[in-house]
């Protein structure tokens, strides 16, 4: 006997609607896709459907843990003792050093309401804007660029645009592994005739479904996009009427393009000039065309500039603001869009309104009944730098394993060790909780209510199928209790009440309520009458004056480059079977499918380095070294290697240095110069039979 609850998946940013079937013993019997899910249309991937056993894994945190001294053993504690300790220590730090000596990280795995509560607690209970979330290290360049070019920080359309478009440029994304349901939707579209161009240093699966694959050198995306724009302008694909009526800055951008003729771009990127011209024509000749991108665009020193150039390509051709012509960033975590929408950022309140905007700040002061800072807080990298410098004394890390996922791992660990006090709120002990003074047992997406916002700006309901195990509590309840202990009452009985406050204070969310979301959700902005916006910018852009802005940005070299000492370039990414740091998927049957990170290396490079498939190898960068098995494959381009960061024992991010996006501090995970070589003596190799 089972009962079913409809909820939203807690893995990637697709936002699949699921039916969770509960057993009588308070476990999940199975999960199936909801047939009416607007993003997944009755489909789901192997993570969403099968990777749910983590919820009752024996390693789940079920009681608060406290360390009586830094670095000592953790012991079980009551909720009362844990919260009293947090309030006392944060109060001590605030009294001695001021509120800006404390910082918090919200969770992009948690609900909108959880993240809003965390942001309000940091700002109102502690008094600082030192609040950030993991979008900093993934899609903050997308948010920056979309706001600068078009006005709003979200996709301009929906996944359904893939069903209505004639062509798609897919840049720096691998949807069949990172966003599998969208990847399948793109496959289906190609089978119906959509012309797909894939652009990536790896030959991803979707390249087999496309009409063309471009494999640029890592870090040269800007040159490739500028080369496409050059051909579009040269060959008559500019929509001059649209450009004149609805944009500014075209002349400066047009002046930039002659320098990016296909031959010049080939010299920079390695992409053959003829292929570049063909890619531009695939996009330009389609009456409707989309551009989709992922972390292979954003996680670069100039990632935010490349996203602005992508916007330029859509604007110059007028392919925006109508069905089948959309800009679609493929967001990583399930609520990485929403955690930022909710103002869990150091410089903005909800809907990306500046903390320095007097009218906005005053509206939150009036609602919350406390004075609020107008000073921008620390970003995540700045938090770690400040901790090492002795200026940041305490952190509250909610649902993020920064010691595994963030770059320059040695620096992150040094920062955590430098703090006077660290709180971690999570569902498992992680690499980060090793340094925590208090660890709070939290809830998974299967155990909470609220909303997630997917990569197409769709706000959807989350419903609990089971209860948190043991003494674990929902994140919403935990944050309310901590804020109360700090002296600021969060006045909501339920997450629905918190959403009502969000709607009241956020014009773009004015028409959103739990009651109104129903089974299909709503895509912000949502008017007070509940009308939502599947397509943005049909008539005007959201910038001042209603006009979009062209960015005249030349190609600039990446932050790292191969040389004699480090002759290969490492690119990182994800596998279909696992998700992010693997905190959940490694505790399910998925670990039997993939049980370790491996390093992909091209056969030519492997032969030159005397590396065979399966050999254990050393990978060394300018800042760190790791060991892992080799996988020889021609999916990766010569001169490049590829690995993931799903397994903490690999410590992949020890290799990633401090290079980061120039506008947002998003780390440059995708261009890391490395030296690769075999470790010691390898097993004897038996020649294959003729």
φ, ψ dihedrals at 221, nearest 5°: -55, -40
Residue range 195-213: mean pLDDT, rounded: 96
Q: What is the pLDDT of residue 275?
A: 98
Q: Which among 132, 108, 123 is positioned nearest to 454, based on CA atoms?
A: 108
**Structural domain boundaries in the chain:** 3-56, 65-136+334-442+468-490, 140-329, 568-678
What is the CA angle 553-556-561, rounded to 5?
160
Residue range 606-630: mean pLDDT, rounded: 94
Q: What is the pLDDT of residue 503?
A: 98
- Residues 229, 638: Cα–Cα separation, whole Å: 27
- Residues 196, 208: Cα–Cα separation, whole Å: 10
pLDDT in tens, 655-664: 998 889 899 9
Query: Is the C-alpha dihedral spanning 595, 596, 597, 599 positive or negative?
Result: negative
Q: What is the pLDDT of residue 581?
A: 67
Residue range 283-287: mean pLDDT, rounded: 98
* DSSP designation for 354: B
- Residues 604, 408: Cα–Cα separation, whole Å: 29
Report the run of H or E that residue 71 belongs to, with start and end.
none
Q: Which among 200, 167, 444 is positioned nearest to 319, based on CA atoms?
A: 167
- Residues 301, 660: Cα–Cα separation, whole Å: 5
Q: What is the pLDDT of residue 576?
A: 66
Q: What is the pLDDT of residue 564?
A: 94
Pick left, alpha or beta for residue 408 (phi over 0 → left; psi -120 to 50 → alpha; otherwise beta). Answer: left
Q: What is the dihedral of CA 171, 173, 179, 182, to 10 degrees?
A: 20
Quickly state the pLDDT bin for 278 (edges 50, 70, 90).
very high
Residue range 249-255: mean pLDDT, rounded: 98
Q: What is the pLDDT of residue 687?
A: 37
- Residues 396, 101: Cα–Cα separation, whole Å: 12
Quickly state the pLDDT bin for 27 (edges 50, 70, 90).
confident
- Residues 209, 191: Cα–Cα separation, whole Å: 8
Q: What is the pLDDT of residue 688?
A: 35
pLDDT in tens, 85-119: 999 999 999 999 999 999 999 999 999 999 999 99
Q: What is the pLDDT of residue 653?
A: 83
Q: What is the pLDDT of residue 621?
A: 94
- Residues 469, 57: Cα–Cα separation, whole Å: 10
Q: What is the pLDDT of residue 595?
A: 73
Fold observed for domain 65-136+334-442+468-490: Rossmann fold (3.40.50)
* 489 has a pLDDT exceeding 70: yes
HEC-encoded secondary structure of 260-306: HCHHHHHHHHCCCHHHHHHHHHHHHHCCCEEEEECHHHHCCCCHHHH
- Residues 620, 206: Cα–Cα separation, whole Å: 31
* DSSP designation for 195: E
Task: Report the range of poorest mean pLDDT among 148-152, 584-588, 616-620.
Answer: 584-588
Q: What is the pLDDT of residue 575?
A: 78
Report the run of H or E that residue 530 belongs to, with start and end.
none
CATH class of the domain whose range is 140-329: alpha beta
Q: What is the pLDDT of residue 689?
A: 34
Residue range 421-427: mean pLDDT, rounded: 98
pLDDT in tens, 565-588: 999 999 988 776 776 667 787 877
What is the maximum span of the chain, computed from C-alpha positions, in angstroms?
Answer: 80
pLDDT in tens, 326-369: 999 998 788 999 999 999 999 999 999 999 999 999 999 999 99
Q: What is the pLDDT of residue 690?
A: 31
Q: What percent of the chain has pLDDT over 90?
A: 84
CA–CA distance from 432 to each of 33, 211, 516, 530, 684 (Å)?
Answer: 33, 44, 38, 41, 40
Considering only CA atoms, give the Rg of the chain.
24
Helix (H, G, I), strand (E, B) or coil at 236: coil
Q: Are 659 and 559 in contact (CB under 8 A)?
A: yes
Q: Which residue has the higher pLDDT, 644 or 301?
A: 301
pLDDT in tens, 364-415: 999 999 999 999 999 999 999 999 999 999 999 999 999 988 888 899 999 9
Residues whose CB is less than 8 angstroms from the CB of residue 665 and which lie 6 or more positions away in sequence, other chains included? 136, 140, 379, 380, 381, 382
Q: What is the pLDDT of residue 580?
A: 67
pLDDT in tens, 305-330: 999 999 999 999 999 999 999 999 99
State in Å, rounded, how far the first CA of the chain is from the last one. Answer: 58
* Orientation angle between helical segments 495-505 and 358-368, nearest 10 degrees: 150
Q: Which among 506, 529, 514 is positioned nearest to 452, based on CA atoms?
A: 514
Mean pLDDT of the chain: 93
Residues whose CB is less than 8 angstroms from the CB of residue 601 and which lie 6 or more positions away in sequence, other chains included? 568, 609, 611, 630, 631, 632, 633, 636, 641, 676
Fold observed for domain 3-56: N-terminal domain of TfIIb (2.20.25)
Architecture of domain 568-678: Beta Barrel (2.40)
């Amino acid at each position: 006997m089972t009962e079913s609850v409809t909820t939203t998946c807690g893995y990637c940013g697709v936002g699949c609607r699921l039916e969770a079937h509960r057993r009588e013993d308070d476990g999940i019997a199975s999960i199936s896709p909801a047939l009416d899910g607007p993003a997944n249309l009755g489909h789901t991937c192997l993570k969403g459907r099968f990777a749910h056993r983590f919820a009752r894994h024996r390693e789940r945190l079920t009681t608060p843990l406290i360390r009586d001294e830094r670095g000592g053993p953790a012991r079980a504690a009551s909720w009362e003792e844990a919260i009293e300790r947090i309030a006392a220590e944060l109060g001590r730090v605030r009294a001695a050093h001021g509120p800006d000596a404390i910082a918090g990280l919200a969770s992009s795995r948690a609900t909108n309401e959880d993240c809003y509560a965390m942001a309000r607690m940091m700002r109102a209970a502690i008094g600082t804007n030192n609040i950030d979330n993991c979008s900093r290290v993934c899609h903050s360049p997308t948010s920056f660029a979309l706001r600068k070019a078009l006005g709003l920080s979200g996709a301009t359309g929906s996944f359904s645009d893939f069903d209505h478009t004639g062509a798609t440029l897919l840049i720096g994304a691998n949807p069949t592994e990172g966003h599998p349901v969208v990847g399948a939707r793109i496959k289906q579209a190609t089978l119906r005739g959509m012309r797909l161009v894939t652009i990536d240093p790896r030959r991803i699966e979707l390249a087999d479904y496309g009409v063309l694959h471009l494999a640029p050198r890592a870090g040269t995306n800007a040159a490739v996009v500028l080369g496409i724009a050059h051909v579009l302008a040269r060959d008559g694909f500019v929509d001059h009427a649209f450009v004149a009526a609805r944009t500014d800055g075209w002349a400066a951008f047009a002046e930039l393009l002659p320098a990016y003729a296909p031959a010049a771009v080939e010299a920079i990127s390695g992409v053959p000039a003829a292929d570049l011209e063909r890619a531009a024509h695939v996009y330009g000749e389609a009456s409707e065309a989309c551009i989709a991108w992922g972390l292979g665009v954003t996680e670069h020193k100039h990632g935010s500039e490349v996203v602005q150039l992508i916007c330029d390509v859509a604007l110059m051709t007028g392919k925006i603001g109508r069905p089948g012509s959309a800009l679609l960033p493929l967001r990583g975590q399930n609520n990485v869009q929403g955690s930022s929408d909710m103002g869990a950022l150091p410089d903005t309140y909800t809907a990306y309104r500046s903390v320095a905007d007097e009218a906005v700040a005053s509206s939150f002061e009036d609602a919350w009944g406390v004075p609020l800072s107008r000073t921008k807080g620390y970003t995540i990298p700045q938090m770690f730098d400040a901790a090492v410098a002795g200026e940041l004394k305490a952190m509250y890390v909610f649902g993020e394993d920064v010691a595994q996922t963030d770059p320059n791992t040695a620096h992150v660990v040094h920062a955590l060790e430098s703090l006077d006090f660290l709180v971690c709120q999570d569902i498992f002990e992680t690499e980060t909780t090793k340094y925590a003074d208090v660890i709070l047992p939290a809830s998974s997406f299967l155990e909470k209510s609220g909303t997630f916002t997917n990569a197409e700006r769709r706000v959807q309901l989350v419903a609990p199928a089971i209860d948190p195990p043991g003494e674990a509590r929902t994140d919403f309840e935990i944050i309310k209790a901590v804020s109360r202990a700090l002296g600021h009452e969060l006045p909501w009985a339920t997450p629905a009440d918190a959403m009502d406050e969000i709607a009241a204070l956020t014009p773009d969310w004015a028409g959103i309520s739990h009651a109104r979301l129903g089974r299909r959700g709503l895509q912000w902005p949502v008017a007070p009458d509940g009308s939502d916006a599947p397509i943005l910018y049909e008539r005007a852009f959201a910038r001042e004056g209603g006009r979009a802005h062209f960015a005249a940005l030349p190609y600039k070299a990446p932050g790292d480059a191969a040389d004699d000492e480090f002759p290969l370039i490492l690119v990182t990414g994800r596998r279909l079977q696992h998700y992010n740091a693997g905190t959940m998927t490694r505790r399910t049957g998925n670990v039997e499918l993939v049980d370790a990170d491996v390093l992909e290396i091209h056969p030519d490079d492997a032969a030159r380095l005397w590396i065979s498939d399966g050999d254990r190898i050393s990978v060394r960068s300018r800042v760190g070294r790791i060991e892992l098995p080799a996988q020889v494959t021609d999916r990766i381009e010569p001169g490049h290697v590829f690995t993931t960061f799903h397994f903490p024992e690999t410590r992949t991010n020890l290799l990633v240095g401090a290079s980061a996006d120039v506008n947002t501090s998003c780390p440059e995970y995708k261009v890391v110069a490395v030296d690769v070589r075999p470790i010691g003596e390898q097993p004897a190799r038996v020649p294959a039979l003729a």
